[in-house]
A and B are shown apart, each in its own frame.
Chain A
Amino acid sequence: MGHEYVPEIAIDRDGNQHEVQGWQGDFYGGKLGFWLFMLTEVMMFGAMFLALAYYNSLHPQDFLDASAALNRLLGGTNTVILLVSALTMGLGLLRMRAGDVKGAKLMIWATIILAVAFLVIKGFEWTAEYHHGIFLMHDKLLPESSLPFGQKLFYGLYFSMTGLHGFHIIIGIGLMLWLLKRINAGKVSPEHHILHWNIALYWDIVHLIWVFVFPYYYMIGADGIQMSDFSMIFGGGTNGHH
């Protein structure tokens, strides 16, 4: 391959010409394909939310208690970071479409930095939870511990879903680095930016999922929130476990 694709023409009975759509350079097809792929991500996380909702209905109080113990400050900061990163990613795509390749690259770099920040914060959060004896195969989550069933289920799902989401962030960083490489190689350009478009869509879905994960895990137990929780911001407290 490598040669330019020249669209073929089909001729009907009356001699009219009709352009044949080839698979080469089908921008619309590429977009459609990626949308469909994102639909599978939604189905996948949807099934986990289903399981979550089911156990929530069985153990409502346990879920509230467990949720109250999560660190809303770190979770909230991460939400803001991810929202801003969605903005930078989108701006990058706009820059690219406007022909400003340099600006687009800058925005992608900004997104990468924000994504890394997200992971670092997530790392702090998990570490703190680990020190409180809440971690997979560890202490309070072992079968023989006396923690109520509902809380064990909550944390089990919490680690599964935030873990899987974090995995998507890592993949996203990889994709963005690859995108930068393709841009530098001239394979992605303002005229030919389907890859950029699709990775931006991917990042949107990743942040969209988080927008559901955050309230479900961190916020449902938040009604007992007190001023002292906020004072941590200034007082140097590290987490929300009581």
Chain B
Amino acid sequence: MSKTYFDETHCAIGHPKSTFMQWMLTIDHKRIGIMYAAVMFVFFFVAVFTAFAMRLELFAPGGQYMDGNTFNQAFTLHGVIMIFLFIIPGIPAIFGNIVMPLMIGAKDVSFPRLNWFTFWLYIAGCCIALASLFIGEGVADTGWTFYAPYSMNTGTNVIMALVAAFVLGFASILTGLNFLVTIHRLRAPGMTFFKMPLFVWGIYATAWIQLLATPVVGITLVLAILEKYFGIGIFDPAKGGDPVLFQHLFWIYSHPAVYLMILPAFGIMSEIIPTFSRKEVFGYRTIALSSASIAGIGYLVWGHHLYTSGMSDIAKTVFSFLTFFVAIPTGVKFYDWVATMYQGKIVLSTPMIWALGTIITFAIGGITGVTITMIGMDVHLQDTYYTVAHFHYAILGGVVFLLFAGMHYWFPLVTGKMYNETKAKIAFYLNFIGFNLLWFPMFIAGYYGMPRRYFDYLPEFEIYHQLSFYGAVIFIAGLIYMFWVLFKGWTKGEATTPNPWNATTLEWHLPSSPPPLENHSKVPYVDFDPYEYKHGEPVVKFNYETMQRID
């Protein structure tokens, strides 16, 4: 058997003998992607268990296990980890690294050493965030948004959390920069922009947001740090500063950041749907361009987070109006996916059912998002569990579910093994049922006025919190089971061929599975569209020795 990227690697410094050091120093994009995945899922579970602790506390009214302050720190820790350590870097860092270069026929990203450096910068950011747990008065209690002036006055360790977020943001910028140059420079000959797989389009749009939006939040965090250290008074009303300015600057980044999470996830969806419908994707160009326009419009709508913070009525109306526009390209994508499935030869493998499940959950997340775009509704629902349910449906039921879908889809590519289909499907149903039971009751509770970020509540909300608790138990069990099935697949699963799904994009046309160190041992000339099927069979076939077409 030929050597794979598990057997040999390039390193940033020298050629260390030990396998461990080879992993620490590797500059191979596939290995770096795997390392990101490993670290991120550890944090994901830390945050899940923090959330579970909150759910336990909320099981009954009154205080049980923690007091209000601890609860404040718990949801901040949960939010900060989930947002900054896990889901913002998530899909780009994992699959952008592992498969994007393979999809465009590149041997690696444009700056492999920078990629290595970025990974360690990310780790440094994580360490700073964790250190804030133990240093000073403990982890911040401000919520992941760090709103001034409270964050300027609380005694908890906000500074470290801010520094961590800044460092992680820097890592995000460098990742986006690396991907932009890679996509511009390293596409295989013949691959025009409109011959790129749709996941690459998702990563491309995302990379622009990373590059243009992250510096704005970066400097906002720096100003907040300077304010806390040197008392410059930009956000603190006691010195004439304006706390709403903080919210503006924060959301100018953080709203686009939600597209930064969802666009690559949509990219995964756009890969899975045509592959398992065995059909050319419907409306390739509209899907590609809708990613770009979501990224563009997403830049102009941050104000919908400030309806209740004091803004002129005209500004509110304009922001509300603009926000509705984001729904259009998003809707276009959904129609294109459904149209792709129409009359397709649908194969219900695990990645496909994850994708189908996500269409349902993300639709709920999206539609409830449109309701709170309306100013009147939002004034009622802002900071209630309705909003909490909305963003968990959108982020967890949209982005994270598609991340899981991608994990199953590219599993054979990364590991060269196959997981157990039946067990993986059971894991999906556990997750899906648990998830809905966990979050759906919260729409109702929120509608009736259950506020978010409270550790105590009126007895009438008990039933919703209890349903939610049972949902959380099922969901977390499903998560653990899913990872266990994948782990077993990796260690004990059957070996697969390079293209088990009959997929068409370049990352499946590799000489071996798992891929060799430098990917396509020979780069093909790309004169075909990314998803060409005829009678349910891929059209394009290669001779893997010469990478010339033989169809």
Contact = CB atoms under 8 A, between A and B. Distances in A.
A21 B110 CA distance: 10
Nearest to A149: B240
B60 interface: no
Given A18-B190, A47-B215, A51-B234, 17 more contacts: A10-B190, A12-B527, A18-B189, A20-B189, A23-B108, A23-B185, A26-B185, A33-B180, A39-B211, A41-B215, A44-B215, A48-B223, A51-B223, A141-B233, A143-B231, A152-B239, A160-B232
B134 interface: no
Interface string A41-80: 1011111101100110011000000000000000000000
B238 interface: yes
A153 B222 CA distance: 16
Given A149-B240, A160-B226, A12 B110 contact: no
A26 B220 contact: no
Contacts of A37: 173, 177
A137 interface: yes
Contacts, number: 144
Chain A interface size, as a band, is: 35 or more
Contacts of A41: 215
Interface in B219-239: 219-220, 222-223, 226, 230-234, 238-239
A51 B219 CA distance: 11
Given A23-B186, A43-B216, A1 B181 contact: no
A10 B525 CA distance: 6
Contacts of B213: 43
B23 interface: no
22 contacts: A10-B189, A11-B525, A11-B546, A26-B110, A29-B110, A33-B178, A36-B177, A36-B181, A37-B177, A44-B215, A44-B219, A45-B219, A51-B234, A54-B245, A136-B231, A137-B231, A142-B231, A149-B239, A149-B240, A152-B233, A156-B233, A156-B234
Contact of B231 (A8, A36, A59, A141): A141
A21 B234 contact: no
B523 A20 contact: yes
B514 interface: no
Interface in B195-221: 211-216, 218-220
A157 interface: yes
Contacts of A43: 212-213, 215-216
B106 interface: yes
A33 B181 contact: yes
Interface string A1-35: 10000001011110000111111001011001100
A36 B180 contact: yes
Interface of B: 10, 105-112, 173, 177-178, 180-182, 184-186, 188-190, 211-216, 218-220, 222-223, 226, 230-234, 238-242, 245, 249, 252, 522-525, 527, 546-549
B220 A47 contact: yes
A93 B70 CA distance: 58
A222 to B, nearest CB: 24
A137 to B, nearest CB: 5
B32 to A, nearest CB: 14
Contacts of B219: 44-45, 47-48
A93 B210 CA distance: 31
Contacts of B242: 54-55, 58
A94 B514 CA distance: 48
A124 interface: no
A41 B222 CA distance: 13
A72 to B, nearest CB: 23
A29 B525 contact: no
A32 B216 CA distance: 21
Contacts of B212: 39-40, 43
B110 A33 contact: yes
